[in-house]
């Protein structure tokens, strides 16, 4: 017997990003086309070939104890989760029916690097006793789980730049399976430091437009030359529809489905055929009981790398066929930079708000669309959309492919 999957709704949104310290300011920044990319002024940047990034617009508003005992990625996750929880109306839920799925692609790398300096310069007795909880990749999930008393499970998917989306997909599965009624889900990342930037630069993955930072992230543009490293966090409160209805909760949208696949092609390069990404899109449609013709908007992964943007366009054509010509595409990374493990969660927030407000933020810096990319990308002006479904794509090193499907 086939049973209808439990419907999962979004009742809370939270974010701290290069555009603002909350969801409202971030969304206003996206709609106004504001760039969060700037030149980094710390002394260590001068030794590197890349001098730009997209740091937080405001520092996490935390007390001294929290700031001292939490890695920056954990601080941001906690701030975004608190906003999302309040936005959801601080739901009363049995703690054994509450879970947390909060991802990070890298974990507490800033803590690791900082404490290594302490070890080298001052000796082992000066290393922080909080080091291990601060650097572990499940630290943000643990931080959020502890803050809200989540006893139905605390999970931390690690799938590079697809991590945040995979956390949301996992939350969907958990609620559908009946293991929880409410899940706090999303992603966080804080990796703006010399070593990560040097590593990405050595891979030729980062834009080197040091003189014009605001123009550096240019998804789908002919002159794109790499992504811009960003930091931030975004969190969704996901809830079984019947649980939300019973408490009279406001609903932002519906997480209708999710699809996950892998390329099995290369540890860092995308499969140029887009086959794995296309499978994830088709899986999301099946999971959501949607047809290609139901899609009106796509928040693309589109990081501004030459190979990645093209492979995604190929994948979307494969999955959606001629209907792709009717779909409004955007890349909010043109304004936020690439938040790695937080990117998918932030773009999920943007997708939900686009459906709710029936407006798609224009992609910044798209001066000349790549001749090989046949997409209808919102550019210059924000685009009005009707009612329908949206997809949010996230792809990561290791060949991870995740697609989320939302309806209003």
| pLDDT given at position 188 | 98
Burial 115-124, CB ≥16 within 10 A → b, else e:
beeeeeeeee
Catalytic residues: 161
Q: What pLDDT score does 3 carry?
A: 78
Calculate mean pLDDT across residues 362-377. Answer: 98
Task: Encode pLDDT of 115-167 as tens digits.
Answer: 999 999 999 999 999 999 999 999 999 999 999 999 999 999 999 999 999 99
Question: pLDDT for 282-330, tens place per residue?
Answer: 999 999 999 999 999 999 999 999 999 999 999 999 999 999 999 999 9
Up-side HSE of residue 23: CA atoms within 13 Å toward CB?
26
In this structure, are residues 12 and 84 in contact, taking their beta carbons and an 8 Å threshold?
yes
Q: Quote the CA–CA distance of 104 and 234 in Å, as a whole number.
A: 11
Q: How far apart are CA 93 and CA 100, in angstroms?
A: 13
Say whether pLDDT at 1 is over 60.
no
Q: How far apart are CA 346 and CA 17, in angstroms?
A: 8
For residue 300, the Cα-to-chain-centroid distance in whole angstroms is: 11
pLDDT digits (tens, 9 = 90+) for 68-99: 999 999 999 999 999 999 999 999 999 999 99
2 falls in which pLDDT band (50, 70, 90)?
Answer: low
Domain coordinates in residue numbering, the chain: 8-407
Residue 109 has pLDDT above 60, yes or no: yes
| Spatial separation of the C-alpha atoms in residues 125 and 407, rounded to whole Å | 54
Q: How confident is the model at residue 62 (pLDDT cuts 50, 70, 90)?
A: very high
pTM of the model: 0.98
Q: Which fold has domain 8-407?
A: Peroxisomal Thiolase; Chain A, domain 1 (3.40.47)
Say whether 359 sits in a helix, a strand or coil: strand
Residue partners of 120: CB distance under 8 A and separation at least 6: none
pLDDT in tens, 234-259: 999 999 999 999 999 999 999 999 99
Mean pLDDT along residues 47-59? 98
């Amino acid at each position: 017997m086939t049973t209808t999957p439990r419907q999962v709704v979004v009742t809370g949104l939270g974010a701290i990003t290069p555009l603002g310290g909350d969801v409202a300011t971030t969304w206003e920044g996206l709609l106004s086309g504001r760039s969060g990319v700037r030149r980094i002024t710390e002394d260590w940047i001068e030794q590197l070939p890349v001098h730009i990034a997209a740091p937080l617009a405001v520092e996490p508003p935390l007390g001294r104890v929290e700031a001292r005992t939490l890695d920056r990625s954990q601080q941001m996750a906690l701030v975004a989760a608190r906003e999302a929880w309040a936005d959801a109306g601080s739901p009363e839920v049995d703690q054994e029916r509450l879970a947390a799925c909060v991802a990070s692609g890298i974990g507490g790398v800033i803590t690791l690097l900082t404490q290594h300096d302490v070890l080298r310069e001052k000796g082992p007795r000066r290393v922080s006793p909080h080091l291990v909880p601060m650097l572990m990749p499940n630290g943000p999930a643990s931080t959020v789980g502890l803050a809200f008393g989540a006893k139905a499970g605390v999970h931390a998917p690690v799938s590079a730049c697809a991590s945040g989306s995979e956390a949301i997909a996992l939350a969907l599965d958990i609620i559908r399976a009946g293991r929880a009624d409410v899940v706090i889900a999303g992603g966080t990342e804080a990796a703006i430091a010399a070593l990560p930037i040097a590593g990405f630069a050595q891979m030729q993955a980062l834009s080197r437009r040091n003189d014009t930072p605001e123009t550096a992230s240019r998804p789908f543009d002919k002159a794109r030359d790499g992504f811009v490293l960003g930091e931030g966090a975004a969190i969704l409160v996901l809830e079984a529809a019947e649980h939300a209805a019973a408490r009279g909760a406001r609903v932002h949208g519906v997480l209708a489905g999710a699809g996950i696949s892998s390329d099995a092609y290369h540890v860092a390069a995308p499969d140029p055929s887009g086959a794995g990404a296309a499978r994830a899109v088709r899986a999301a449609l099946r999971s959501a009981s949607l047809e290609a013709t139901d899609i009106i908007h796509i928040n693309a992964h589109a990081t501004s790398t030459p190979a990645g943007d093209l492979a995604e366009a190929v994948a979307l054509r494969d999955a959606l066929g001629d209907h792709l010509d009717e779909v409004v595409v955007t890349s909010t990374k043109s304004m936020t930079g690439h938040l790695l493990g937080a990117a998918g969660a932030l773009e999920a927030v943007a997708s939900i708000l686009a459906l709710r407000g029936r407006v798609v933020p224009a992609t910044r810096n798209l001066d000349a669309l790549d001749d090989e990319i046949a997409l209808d990308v919102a550019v210059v002006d924000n685009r009005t959309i009707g009612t329908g479904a949206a997809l949010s794509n996230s792809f990561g090193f290791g060949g991870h492919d995740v697609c989320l499907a939302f309806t209003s």
